[in-house]
Every structure is written in structure tokens, then in C-alpha cells.
Amino acid sequence: MFHALGDPTRRAMLDRLTHGPLSVSALAAPLGITITAVAQHLQVLEECALVRTEKLGRVRTCRIEMAGFDTLERWIADHRTEWARRLDQLGALLDELDEGSE
């Protein structure tokens, strides 16, 4: 995930896709890189579920895939989940004290 986002070209691609879906060639043109290079970047982004591509006829279209961004949001939100889990575990430990296992 962070590897995917760590590359400036990939971030530029994501930035453009946030404005709407694009064909691979439309995505590649302003970046001044080859279609092959774009395809490699897209593969990394697809593996992280940040981007989804779909071939319709002869045109491959790329769009932002929200599932990957959800992962990143979850990673940040995990602090909350982690604390919620800890407090649940604290509750269980306190309940145990009733059973004379102090």
C-alpha cells in the first residue's frame, strides 16, 4: 500500500483518476511515459485495490477503486479499533477477578 503510494508517478496517476476514469493512453499521455510503464504502475495500483481497470473492446479504462482507500482509512482508524479491543480485553480481565483469580 505504502509502496504503491510512495512513487510520484503513481500518485500523479491517482490524482488524475480522482477526477474521473481514463483510458490507459489518456493516462499515459501527459505523464510523458510509455504505455508499458503506465501498465506496470497500474499493476501495482491494482494489486493494492487502489485502481480498477477494465477492457471494453480495444480500450482499457482505469478508475479509482475505493476498496484500497478504505484500507488506508482503516489503517489510520486502526488506532481506534486497537483501543476498543484493548478496553474490551480490560473488561474481560476485570470480570475474571470476580472468579477469585486475583
Partner 1 sequence: MEQPKVVHSTFTLERKFSKPPEVVFAAFSDPAKLRRWFADSKAHETEAFTVDFKVGGEEYLRYKMIGGPVAGLTVVNKGSYQVIVPNERIVTATTMSVEGRPISASQVTIELLPTSEGTDLICTHQGAFFENADGPQLREQGFRVLMDKLAAMLAN
Task: Pick from 32, 36, 94, 99 the residue near partner 1 by CB under 8 A.
Answer: 94
User: In 3D, which of 76, 12, 8, 14 has the Cα closest to residue 51?
Assistant: 14
- Compute the least distance from the CB of residue 34 to partner 1, in Å: 21
74 binds partner 1 (CB under 8 A): yes
67 binds partner 1 (CB under 8 A): no
Q: Count the Cβ atoms, other than its own, within 10 Å of residue 54.
A: 10
Site residues for partner 1 per CB under 8 A: 1-3, 5-8, 11-12, 14-18, 69, 71-80, 83-87, 89-94, 97
